[in-house]
Chains A and B, each alone.
Chain A
Amino acid sequence: MMWAGVLVACAACYALKLAGLSLPARLLEDVRVQRTVPLVPVALLAALVAVNTFSTGTHLVLDVRAAAIGVAAVAVLLRAPFLVVVVSAAAIAALLRLL
C-alpha cells in the first residue's frame, strides 16, 4: 500500500510539472489559477506545521514539540539555514525528553 501511494504521488507531481510546460498557456494564465495556486503551499505548509506540532493521530497533544517549534521559529527569524532550523528543533525536543 505504501509503495502504491508513493508511486501515484510521484506520477502526479511529474504530471503537474509536465502540464506547466505543455498545456496551452491560456489555461494556466487564467486569473483564478494565477491567484489561487500560490496560496495553496502557504495554507498547506501552515496546516502541516500545526498538525505535526500539536497532534498525534487524531488527538490534539501539547508536548515537547511545542517548545521545539518555538525554537525553530526563533531560528527562522534569525535567518538560520534550513538544516540549523531542523536540527535545533530536534535537539531541543531530545533534550527536554531527557530531563
Chain B
Amino acid sequence: MAASIARDATICARMAGSGRGRVISTRRAIIRDALGIAIASGAYAVSFGAISSAAGLSVLQTCALSVLMFTGASQFALVGVVGAGGSVWAGAATAALLGSRNALYGLRLSTILDRSGLKRLLAAHFVIDETTAMAIAREDPVQSRFAFWVTGVALFTLWNLGTLVGALATHFVPDPKVLGLDAAPPAAFLALLAPRLRAREPMAIALAAGVVALVCLPFVPAGVPLLIVAVLVAVFGVMRARR
C-alpha cells in the first residue's frame, strides 16, 4: 500500500514536473544501482568465503574478516598470503598496504559526509571502492550521501551473507585442490587488477611487480616478496612525484 502511494506520488510529481518527483525517481535509480552492485558483490563474496576456508581459516575467522575488515582486495590478500604458506602477519601487512587507497577515498568523501560524531565512525567502515564510486557520481551532496549509505548498507549485508555461504560450503570439502580452489586466488587477484590496467604505466608496473616477486621468492619467507614489492613501488612513486 505504502509502495503504491509512493509510486502514485512519483507519477503525479513527474507529471507536474516538480523537483520533488525528480528527487524520488533519482533516489529509486540510486537504490537500483546499489542493489545491482550489492548482488554482484555478494556473488564475489561467495568466492572469498570459499578461498578463505580453503586457505585454512575457520568459518568464524572468515566471517570476522568480512564483518570487520570489509574491503575486498585486502581480505583476498590476507587469505591469499596465508593460503600460499605465508605467515598471517605478512598477510596482515599486505592487507593493510592494499587498504591504503581507502584513505584517499575517505579524503574525497570527507567533504560529502558528516565530519563529526558517531555517524562518521560508522561511515568510515563503509569507505570502499564501490561506495566512493556511487557517492562521487552524484553532484548534489544530499544524493551523494544517500548513495553512499544505501550502497554501503546493501553491500555490507550481501557481502557478509555471501561470505558465510562460501565458507560453509567449502568447510565440508576434504581436499579443496580437487575443486581447483588453489587456482581461484590468482584468478581473483587478476580480476581485481584488470580494471586498474587501463594505461601503459600501470601495466609496466604490474609486470615489473610480478617479476620482482618471483625473483625474490626462493630467498625470503613466504609473503615477504609482497612487502618488498610494496616498498619498491612506494620508492618509485615518491621519486617520480619529485621530478
* Partner-B contacts on A (CB < 8 A): 1-10, 12-14, 16-23, 25, 28-29, 31-60, 64-65, 68-69, 72-73, 75-76, 81-83, 85-95, 97
Contact = CB atoms under 8 A, between A and B. Distances in A.
B48 to A, nearest CB: 9
Please provide the 9 A-B residue pairs with the shortest distance between their CB atoms, ordered closest to farther: A20-B106, A36-B237, A5-B88, A93-B180, A89-B187, A94-B180, A93-B183, A68-B183, A46-B206
B64 interface: yes
A28 B219 CA distance: 35
**In this complex, which of B44, B88, B128 has the most chain A Cβ atoms within 10 angstroms of its Cβ?**
B88
Interface residues of B, number: 105
B65 A69 contact: no
Interface of B: 40, 43-44, 46-47, 57, 61, 64-65, 68-71, 73-74, 76-78, 80-85, 87-89, 91-92, 94-110, 113, 115, 120-121, 123-125, 127-128, 177-194, 196-197, 202, 205-214, 217-222, 225-226, 229-230, 232-234, 236-238, 240-242
Given A68-B180, A86-B184, A48 B189 contact: yes
